[in-house]
Amino acid sequence: MEGDHIKINKWLLPFSWLYGLVVGLRNELFELNILKTRRFDIPVISVGNITVGGSGKTPHVEYLVRLLKDKMKVAVLSRGYKRKSHGYVLANEDTPMREIGDEPYQMKTKFPDIRVAVDKKRCEGIDRLTSDEETKDTDVILLDDAFQHRYVQPGINILLVDYHRLIIYDKLLPAGRLREPLSGKHRADIVIITKCPKSLNPIDYRVLSKAMELYPFQQLYFTTLEYCDLEPIFNKGKNIPLTEIRGKNILLLAGIASPKQLELDLNSFTGNNALTILSFPDHHAFTAKDINRINETFANMDEPKLIVTTEKDQARLIDVERLSDEVKENIYALPIKVRFMLDKEETFNQKIISYVRKNSRNSILAKREDDHKSKDSHHSGHRPRTISFRDN
């Protein structure tokens, strides 16, 4: 069931209480406006979570990119976790992965026409994106993994919750994997339970919806993973449909935080006894020892065989040395997309598009002109109204 992959280290609970005091104090300082939060005159959408580890942020940011990129100029701003550079970096087609991090590199590779930037200080990153000559015409900024970065007040705050690690069953660090108390979920405008099994039935949705205990203004969605054809990383061969891997021995190479649903889904394509798993930590930098382990594991597997890895791992594997020729000839990346369940995709899409259009800089300028006119004619009884996402 949905809570079965959560391990709580109960002996660490006293440290979790101390951690909770520190995080709670920080949040309270923001609530009291002692620590300042900035709003921007541009649509800003934040996608994040309150747990350590993967909840599907990158596929959901990519979903938003696909939704918006043909209608407006989209920028993605990330911290650039584990990159070797410092400060603000705007990616171009030649920017190496080490300068921006694996996830921004993945997005820039898949969507070369969007702006992808990294900056640990998100406010400064937004200032650069909206003022630098080459990016100042940006229409909307997507913040990747910024739910705890409270110095920015996004127009829409999207919280992702992994179905296999529901936050309602988790504990604060270090006993569990929560970055902040469960009450933090109430800052979200939209909550999405991700990586849901496709077999969920109506009662499951009702139970989960009630258990999340959201406010009436918060909107709850469920998404599941959809897999595309396998794409070769090194060779120039053809893509392989997943329906063609049954009967093959598969080595799953996964350096992601939460690979459980990927394992379950691949098993459905291969058969339960055909999957060998090499798991590494999230954002793992592959060492020479790791490469030898990959080479040896694959060499010892029976034919027919191939390697399946994630797009994020592909970004880190593409430049490593000493991969065997056999591995390079047989390693494929598995692109994933998210699909909204319960036929809620159009509802979600319209919420996002409506917010961006109503809060574009052109709309804000027009609104200011209307407000100015309204002040000049206040005797008419008309009062200006501020549009926010929760009004939609």
List binding-site positions for ATP: 51-58
Q: How far apart are CA 201 and CA 1, in angstroms?
A: 13
H helices then E strands: how many in the chain? 12, 14
The per-residue pLDDT for range 337-380, each reduced to its tens digit, is 999 999 999 999 999 999 999 998 766 544 555 565 565 555 44
In this prediction, residue 4 has a pLDDT band, given cuts at 50, 70 and 90, of low
Answer whether residue 385 shows pLDDT above 80.
no
Question: Which CATH number goes with the domain that contains 321?
Answer: 3.40.50
Distance of CA 378 to the CA centre of its chain: 45
182 burial type by CB count under 10 A (0-12 exposed, 13-18 middle, 19+ buried): middle
Query: Token pair for residue 24?
Result: 């709670």
Inside any domain, residue 39: no
Answer whether residue 165 shows pLDDT above 60.
yes
In this prediction, residue 382 has a pLDDT band, given cuts at 50, 70 and 90, of very low
Answer whether residue 285 shows pLDDT above 60.
yes
Inside any domain, residue 369: no
pLDDT of 338? 95
Query: Token pair for residue 241?
Result: 């449909």
Inside any domain, residue 184: no
Answer whether residue 12 shows pLDDT above 80.
yes
Q: How far apart are CA 159 and CA 164, in angstroms?
A: 15
Q: Which of 1-15, 71-85, 208-222, 240-254 has the lowest mean pLDDT?
A: 1-15
In this prediction, residue 280 has a pLDDT band, given cuts at 50, 70 and 90, of confident
Taking CA 185 as the corner, what is the angle to CA 50 and CA 52, rounded to the nearest 5 degrees? 5
Inside any domain, residue 392: no
List binding-site positions: 51-58
Inside any domain, residue 318: yes
Give me the domain span that covers residue 268: 231-334
pLDDT of 247? 85
- What count of residues does the chain have? 392
Inside any domain, residue 268: yes
Query: Token pair for residue 186?
Result: 């109430």
In this prediction, residue 125 has a pLDDT band, given cuts at 50, 70 and 90, of very high
Q: How far apart are CA 190 and CA 220, in angstroms?
A: 6
pLDDT of 320? 85
Inside any domain, residue 67: no
pLDDT of 377? 53
In this prediction, residue 204 has a pLDDT band, given cuts at 50, 70 and 90, of very high
The per-residue pLDDT for range 286-331, each reduced to its tens digit, is 899 999 999 999 999 999 999 999 888 888 888 888 999 999 999 9
pLDDT of 229? 94
Distances (CA, A) of 7 to 53, 178, 284: 14, 12, 22
Distances (CA, A) of 302 to 242, 274, 298, 306, 339: 19, 10, 9, 10, 35
**Contact assessment for residue 124 and residue 19, using Cβ atoms and an 8 Å cutoff:** no
Q: Structure pTM?
A: 0.88
pLDDT of 298? 95
Inside any domain, residue 325: yes
For the residues 70-97, what does the mean pLDDT come to? 93
Q: How many structural domains is the chain composed of?
A: 1
Mean pLDDT of the chain: 88
pLDDT of 386? 34
In this prediction, residue 75 has a pLDDT band, given cuts at 50, 70 and 90, of very high
